[in-house]
Structure 1
Amino acid sequence: MILGVTRNEELFEGIGESFLQLITLHQVAWRNWEKVGILLLGTSILIIIVDLLSNIIRKKFK
C-alpha cells in the first residue's frame, strides 16, 4: 500500500495496482501460465488504448 497518500486518486491507483498484482502472483504461484499471459496481454493493451486516447484528447484541447 502507498504510504503518505495525499490524493484520493493515489489511493485508488494503489488499490488497483495491488489487486492486479495479487491476481497475477496467485496465477504464477498456481502455475496457471495461460491466465498470466492473458492478464499481461490485457493490461498492456489497456495501457496502449488509454495512452492513445489521452494523446487524442490532449491534442484536441491544445
Structure 2
Amino acid sequence: MDASSSSYMQLTNIYGVPVKTALIGNVDNGTQTLDVSSLVPGTYFLIFNNGAIVFREEIIKQ
C-alpha cells in the first residue's frame, strides 16, 4: 500500500456500472467496511484503488 495516496473502494454490478463508492483517504490500519445490505442478491465486483495499486475481487451476495 502507498500510505501517501488516497484510496477508494468501488462496487460495480455485473455490467460494470458503479453501485457504491467509498473514498477511504489514507489507509492507516488496513481495515475498511462497505455496507452492502441494501443491494439485491447477485454478482458484484469490488475494486480497491490505492494510487498505482489496484485490487479486483468478485463478490456474490446471496
Instruction: Give the TM-score band, short-chain normalised.
Output: under 0.3
Name whichever structure is richer in helix by fraction.
Answer: 1
**What is the TM-score when the length of structure 2 is the normalising length?**
0.22
Higher relative contact order (CA 8 A, sep 6+): 2
When Rg is computed on C-alpha atoms for both structures, the one with the higher figure is 1
TM-score when scaled to structure 1?
A: 0.22
